Amino acid sequence: MEDPKLEKHFKSHRSTVTSLSFSPNTKQLVSGSLDACLFLWPFKPQVRAYRFVGHNDAVHSVCFSPSGHLIASGSKDKKVRLWIPSVKGESTVFKAHTAAVRCVDFASDGQSLLSSSEDKTIKIWTVHRQKFQFSLNQHSNWVRCAKFSPDGRLIVSCSDDKTVKIWDRNTNECMHTFYEPHGFLNDVTFHPSGTCIGGGCTDASVKIWDIRTRKLIQHYANHVASVNSVAFHPNGNYLLSASSDATLKIFDLLEGRLIYTLHGHQGPATSVAFSKQGDFFASGGQDQQVLVWKTNFETAPSFVESTNTTSNKYTNGNDTSSNDYIASARVSSSTNQQKKTQISSLREKSQPETSDERGARKIDVFNGKSAYPTYGDGDRLEITNIGPAYENGISRSNSASACLVNSEPMSNAISKTNNRTTYGAQSNVNQAYAPQLANTLEHIVQQLDILTKTVAILETRLTMTEIIQLTVEQSYMATTDNPEWFSTKQIDNNLFLTNENHFFEGNRANIWLIRGAARDLIIDCGLGVCNLKKHFENLNLLNKDRECLVLCTHSHFDHCGGAKHFENDSQILIHRDDYQGLRDGREKDTLNYVRSAHFDQAPYRNFSAREYRVPATKCESILDGHRIDLGADDEIMVSHAPGHTPGSIVCYYPKTKSLFTGDLVYDCDHGDELIDWVPTSSVNDYLRSANRMIDWLEEHEIERVYPGHGRIFTNKKRAQDILREYIDSKDDCCSKARGSCMQTMVSGFLKMGCFRCCQ
């Protein structure tokens, strides 16, 4: 293993750096500071850093959303802000607490946000509309830190009341309390496996508890002052800590020992964070510096909780007396065919580790006197731009390793740059826009999903010309039989629901399989990045001797991308008005909001989101009133319901009194979120279809509504309500901010023309 190396160095904050978070794609890093600002640092050279101003007091915590489309910040001003990480620095704000906010964290699904505060509470909010959901109230002092578990089911919190609590998010109950007699924890976080928690304590220790056995299992006493921040490497094998003793330390959790001490900060180190892939980490300090380091650990894909790891879950923990009872998954990069999850053990080691120097490596960026000669080996390091301080100082050396061994101390380099700042302008955002646009700002952020999808369209258009059809075919052929890609559950006697759980939830479509009396029907078929047909065959849900039909509710990529895999053996049906889009694989009809950040796991080796396309697919067109005979009296009836696309349909299944609605209606916070603004949409058509559907549902006995996305409706009234909300939201379109703001926003801001207007 190579030693960690200092890669970049940013200094523009005017006070202590309190918190750091990498964007999921590791292209940006956000930092928060006691100076009340956030800085968004780019990793590309010649790209400016942005300063975000909005909080009225110290920023204590920053966090990128799992999709990378939002940054949350919590401040001493009692408020939480949600920022769009772009040049504009727009944010929406809400008063979250009655005292300083100490910590913010997104759940891994991106839907919920938590905040913890000096008011002794932890509060959970929806991200979309910042609706308060519930609070956790049992701490009797400041809640310094709270975090979601990787699967989102648990929350861990630490407080100045000297306790650490584990909460069940569903019941809002405290499941366990750890007591910390010698101090309190400044920071606590879940191990990527979700089975352990690690924390940094004011008594200078780093501790790891197993939450299943509820025992302290590792205890490191290597620091000599308060430990302010800890972070687990995504592969689960290392822990990084930042301390007021001015050092960062890296612990090997499998061996249970300190392996590195890093000296980079002058004064207390206050914050550390790993990038999502674990190839970088960042540290912040009271010295106002942000340092970015390359880990050089064995690189591993981010820890992915496989669907079969239920034994890792809190509720299934067995209390065994073996030393090896703590299983932590470790992803080995050495296997070359498929990345396999190998289980190794995190051994119990609760004796404090104190022999700081024994076996541990020391890296000091001040005097450059490293015990290790590898720093001279500069050509492996890809330093591009180290920011203003570096520019003026030590960057003169051609050797990339200069930042570590150059004779000019970094502190000198920094002191030269006091007057120089290159960050972007922050506050001229609103001035450039009409006043009414400023009024819609808050709503814009609430409609962030829509905005980011819009940006995605733009990006896609820009890259379209670079892609040739050949790549589409090639990437299509590369799709494999990945057993982890799909998850299927039985909903009803003859109904199965399949999802692509490693794909962005916002665009993840429901795949329905109906096992009919004589033949089967698949309604919508996912992205097509893995082979759905093979998946069903593996589950014995499709048989070669039974006919299977495929019906696409409309031509969008998330619903018909997978049809290609059925082309040879099945009839693929789509409404006439969406037919050509699928037949020709036309992007203007199939759309394509697929981005690499939308995948938390690659569907197959060398998958490239950039090259994703819906391929031209052999299909047949159908019309309103079409009936699909599943044998015996088993029948599906197709109804045309245009709006979202010209050829959108819904399917009625009388036998089970159910309706499949595609994207016409699904369960969401508010009906105005239904998507009628994409290039394939027509608001007028949508309004007509919505009105018709409300009436149709009224007239029919419907027990279940199965939408194209999200939850099943168990009550048709809920579907009707959402459609009514949708209709109502169009009534005041263009007269009020709601509904029209995206149009103004998009045409003004992205210069893309208006596609959400009242036609």
Region 689-718 residues binding Zn ion, contact defined as CB under 5 A: 708
**Nearer to Zn ion (CB atom), residue 542 or residue 668:** 668
- How many Cα atoms occupy the beta-carbon half-sphere of 718 within 13 Å? 14
Percent of the chain as helix, strand, coil, to the nearest 5: 20, 35, 45
Shortest spacing between CB 676 and Zn ion, in angstroms: 11
- How many Cα atoms occupy the beta-carbon half-sphere of 372 within 13 Å? 20
Binding track, positions 504-543, relative to Zn ion; x by CB under 5 A: -----x----------------------------------
In a 3-state reduction of DSSP, which class is residue 459?
Answer: helix
**Nearer to Zn ion (CB atom), residue 11 or residue 556:** 556
Binding part of the chain for Zn ion, among 49-57, 655-663, 685-693, 746-754 by CB under 5 A, reads 655-663
- Single-letter code of the amino acid located at 648: S
Binding part of the chain for Zn ion, among 58-66, 199-207, 614-622, 662-670 by CB under 5 A, reads 662-670
Shortest spacing between CB 156 and Zn ion, in angstroms: 35
**Nearer to Zn ion (CB atom), residue 353 or residue 558:** 558
End-to-end CA distance of the chain: 62
Shortest spacing between CB 607 and Zn ion, in angstroms: 21
Region 543-582 residues binding Zn ion, contact defined as CB under 5 A: 556, 558
Shortest spacing between CB 668 and Zn ion, in angstroms: 12
**Nearer to Zn ion (CB atom), residue 81 or residue 556:** 556
Region 330-369 residues binding Zn ion, contact defined as CB under 5 A: none
Shortest spacing between CB 606 and Zn ion, in angstroms: 26
**How would DSSP label each residue in 474-487?**
HHHHH----TTTEE
Residue with smallest beta-carbon separation from Zn ion = 556
**Nearer to Zn ion (CB atom), residue 256 or residue 707:** 707
Shortest spacing between CB 554 and Zn ion, in angstroms: 6
Shortest spacing between CB 548 and Zn ion, in angstroms: 22
Alpha helices (H) along 393-529: 402-405, 410-415, 435-439, 441-446, 448-464, 469-478
Shortest spacing between CB 524 and Zn ion, in angstroms: 8
CA 739 to chain centre: 26
One of 353, 663, 673, 685 touching Zn ion (CB under 5 A): 663
Asked if residue 184 lies in contact with residue 160, where contact means CB atoms within 8 angstroms, the answer is: yes
> How far apart, in Å, are the Cα atoms of 675 and each of 441, 451, 488, 599, 756?
20, 12, 26, 22, 10
Asked if residue 139 binds Zn ion (CB under 5 A), the reply is no
Find the length of the chain. Answer: 759
Strand order in the sheet with 163-168: 143-148, 154-159, 163-168, 173-179
Q: Residue 166: how many CB atoms within 10 A of its CB?
A: 21
**Nearer to Zn ion (CB atom), residue 278 or residue 561:** 561
In a 3-state reduction of DSSP, which class is residue 402?
Answer: helix
696, two tokens: 């149709």
**Nearer to Zn ion (CB atom), residue 143 or residue 552:** 552
Rounded Cα–Cα distance for residues 250 and 225 (Å): 16
Region 490-509 residues binding Zn ion, contact defined as CB under 5 A: 509
Element (H, E) at 59: strand 59-64
**Nearer to Zn ion (CB atom), residue 378 or residue 708:** 708
**Nearer to Zn ion (CB atom), residue 286 or residue 648:** 648
**How would DSSP label each residue in 144-176?**
EEEEE-TTSSEEEEEETTSEEEEEETTTTEEEE
**Nearer to Zn ion (CB atom), residue 528 or residue 708:** 708
Shortest spacing between CB 553 and Zn ion, in angstroms: 8
Rounded Cα–Cα distance for residues 164 and 177 (Å): 6
Shortest spacing between CB 613 and Zn ion, in angstroms: 16
**Nearer to Zn ion (CB atom), residue 586 or residue 736:** 586
- Single-letter code of the amino acid located at 294: K
Asked if residue 689 lies in contact with residue 642, where contact means CB atoms within 8 angstroms, the answer is: yes
Asked if residue 444 lies in contact with residue 749, where contact means CB atoms within 8 angstroms, the answer is: no
Region 400-419 residues binding Zn ion, contact defined as CB under 5 A: none
Shortest spacing between CB 509 and Zn ion, in angstroms: 5
> Residue count at the site for Zn ion (CB under 5 A)?
5
Asked if residue 744 lies in contact with residue 436, where contact means CB atoms within 8 angstroms, the answer is: yes
- Residues of this chain that interact with Zn ion (CB under 5 A) are 509, 556, 558, 663, 708
